[in-house]
Structure 1
Amino acid sequence: MDLTNVAVFVQAVRLGSLSAASKHLGLAPMASSRRLAALAEELGRRLLHRTTRALSMTTDGALFLAHAEAMLCRRGRPRGAGGAFGRCDGGAAGQRGRSGDPRTARGSGMTPTLAQMLEGVPETRPGCRLLWEAGIRIGPRIELGQGPYGARRRIDILGGAFRGGPGLEDLHGRVLPGGADRQLDRPDGVRELDALYDIEVPEGTVLTLRNRVLIDERPGMARYALSHVSVLAPERPWAWLSRRIIVGTLTPRRPAFDAVVIRTFEVALP
């Protein structure tokens, strides 16, 4: 980093004027302006608010000031810098900003940019694997009337069956009757479903599922229907399902059947 650029910034702040800073440092005003712009570009931050009559620091400028002073103290002041930066022999300026790189947040008091935070972090794209697919028989719609957040209804869950995906052949069984799907038609046209029901595997273990679905199928748009599924598994071997992020799809089978098809997927890192 060019220390003269840093000195232009510090002097402009101290003197309240870029022209005064230019005169103090023996630079042409245009050269000082270019140096200030170069510093801001290097840091990826706007340091000063400038008008024809006034100059003030931005929040990032205020955070950078102490570090800039410390840099000049540690590395030697450029021509014309003088003693306007305060003491460098252990004073306040000399105690701030231990990092040699002003773009580093740690030790400088600066807020890192998004680019700095992302640098060196590999992009991770989660994948999905099929956990189970289910056919669930449902009852007629029961309208519950208008509520403060939209029209409400309930659909009873009458039963059904499910089977596990590849490698999960032991995860199969029946959907128990007695659950229900409570629905809300929001004013913006989106429908929310909140279904609570149980499934049973052959050895008798019962898993409680909560399936919260968001459906957006407004005219002229492709249907969007995805859900977040939470599992309450009481014991092995399926307790791990309670510790996973599970998403699902929902496809109605009416009018052919009074049923819906649900497929669930584990969200997994590569």
Structure 2
Amino acid sequence: MPRTYFVGGNFKMNPTTLEQKRVLVKTLNEATLDPQTEVVIAPPALYLISVLDLIRKDIKVAAQNCHAKASGAFTGEISATQLKDAGIPYVILGHSERRSLFHETSEIVAEKTRAALDQGLKVILCVGETLEERESGRTQQVVEAQLQTVIAVTKPEDWSHIVVAYEPVWAIGTGKVATSAQAQETHAETRKYLASAVSPAVAESTRIIYGGSVSGVNCNELTVQPDVDGFLVGGASLKPEFVNIINARKA
């Protein structure tokens, strides 16, 4: 079976006003979108429920993070249990900003992934290397190490609920983008690793999407790569060009 194309929009700590949120939702609600592409948007936690209520039903909503515990004295956190109860189907875990700015280790990401899966959530699992790691030829070593901690706490059947987002850290928010050849190479090697570490069936069915300064300009070249199953979009998801990225495969 072909893998369903996937485009996610990570709004990060944007928009900053309710009016901007309404404009973003209105733009997506009125857009003509490729019906063969799964679309997921991740607004800030403050707006999750209101966006879920307002957005058209063929667009899913994701949280940008969750805690590994179901409840407790964890000020400022949100749990997978709460997300499930609120009707939020997806959560982004392991984003490089969580790893670098908030010091989340791969073990913490794995623990959160297990908690999310146990609540029936789907996970957008982010992996990727720094510029120094790429220049030293350690891209695949880093990606595989980040995946291994999750593989250790999951079963093969869990992977039908995981989308892997390869996001080279050096390309996030910098305007730099991995070339289509670089993206394809890393995605293909990652799929090969999943085949050996989990199973060939899981490797074939798991969607591996690209993130890192994706725009309406560069998405067309990336989308034709056989192992690029879509995108996780940052800044461009806040702009009208997000619609073009969603429709890139169709175009």
Query: Which structure would you say has the larger RCO, counting Cα contacts within 8 Å and 6 or more residues apart?
Result: 2
- Structure with bigger strand share is 1
- Structure with bigger helix share is 2
TM class by shorter chain equals: under 0.3
Q: Which one has a bigger Cα radius of gyration?
A: 1
With structure 2 as the length reference, what TM-score do the two structures score? Answer: 0.22
With structure 1 as the length reference, what TM-score do the two structures score? Answer: 0.21
